Structure 1
Amino acid sequence: MTSAVDQLRLMARNNAYANSRLYEACNRLSQLEFLAARTNFFPSIKDTLNHLWEVDRYYLDALREQGEGLSVFDVPFLQTASELWRAQKKVDHQLIGFCDDLGETDLDREICHDRGKAGQIRETVGNTLLHLFQHQIHHRGQVHAMLAGTHAAPPQLDEFFLKFERHPAAEDLL
């Protein structure tokens, strides 16, 4: 059995793989399709992907203890799928690097999350990473469903962990 840190390293790579596959589809959309109002938690593919990007930056800031806190949300939304994909790739790469640098004892280390009026809330690195990955999966699923109403087919996102069905794009991350 692999360690918890090894599992989180794999999750970071799976996260980057799934984002890559999702953005392949989103980059085939016209700008009108990308911006179109859709039924979901966020009103468009653009808004959902921006939310993922900004929340990833928020949690990565906390994990790396950089102190930007809620100010990461002050960056304006990006307007195109290609702009967002370049920005998301950068964050995905940083997240992989963070996980690769983790030691087993780091998972229980507490870090501060800037929660505005609620103050600085302490959480463990391990739980923060688990939440970040779950958050990504949750909202990627929403984008996946929204893609079904476009000409770009929703991609398979779960062909990463099992050798017998692993997508060739996943091999580059392992």
Structure 2
Amino acid sequence: MNIAARPFVKLAQNNRLANYRLLTAISAMEAAEFTKERTSFFPSLWQTLNHILVVDWYYVDALEGGTLGVDAWKDETPFDDPLALRTAQGEVDERLLAFCKQLDAAQMDKIVQLHNTTEPVENVLLHLFQHQIHHRGQAHAMLTGSPIKPPQLDEFLFAIDQPYRTQELADIGWTEADLV
């Protein structure tokens, strides 16, 4: 792996694990709790987590050179079922990770066509990871007012955290050796 890609691969791996952990916790939630109105930027876990997914579809497609564009928002809440949402989020997270793994220094400056602007790959990736963290934090805070205990979302890559991620790595088909 190119040294320029390493930080982005780590961010993509952390992103995958955090989304998996959060959506696994929420998958135990009753449908009424999932869609219940709460205080946040988006008024429910359902809307917040679907927003993360739809935005990921948009940006990952653009990074891959696709043409999805604003059609990503045709349905802003495509999943009512948290398990189906977790599967779809995992798929786009894996696409993002694969994209990051193939990066080299020259590709960081490559221009990505977005629907109304262009940006270098590096800026798009940093924006996308920040967007994820921002809205996952909102979902995490919303969980405090629910019967579901908010999961730990900030411990993935330190060696001391290995015991806390073992099952999740196995669930998504990774081992410790896969972490960079």
> Map of 1:129-168 to 2, 5 A cutoff?
129-166=125-162, 167=164, 168=166
8 Å CA contact 2:16–2:94 kept in 1: the answer is: yes
Is 1:58 the counterpart of 2:58? The answer is yes
* Structure 1 residue ranges, 4+ long, deviating more than 4 angstroms after superposition: none
1:9-39 Cα offsets, whole Å, 9 max, x none, are 1100100000011011101111110010000
Total equivalences in the alignment? 168
Q: State the 1:8 CA deviation.
A: 0.2
Q: 1:123 to 1:76 in 2, by over 3 A?
A: closer
Matching residue's letter, 1:101:
Q
Q: How does 1:20-59 map to 2 (within 5 A)?
A: 20-59=20-59
- Aligned-partner Cα distance in 1 for 2:73–2:120: 22
Q: What is the SS of the residue equivalent to 1:20?
A: helix
CA distance in 1, matches of 2:156, 2:124: 22
> What is aligned with 2:96?
95
Q: Secondary structure at the match of 2:28?
A: coil
Q: CA deviation at 1:82?
A: 1.2
The answer for unaligned runs of 5 or more in structure 2 is none
TM-score normalised by length of structure 1: 0.91
Q: Using the TM superposition, name which of 158-167 and 21-30 deviates more.
A: 158-167
Q: Which residue of 2 aligns with 1:118?
A: none
Q: Percent identity?
A: 41
TM-score normalised per structure 2: 0.88
**Structure 1 unmatched runs, 5+:** 116-120
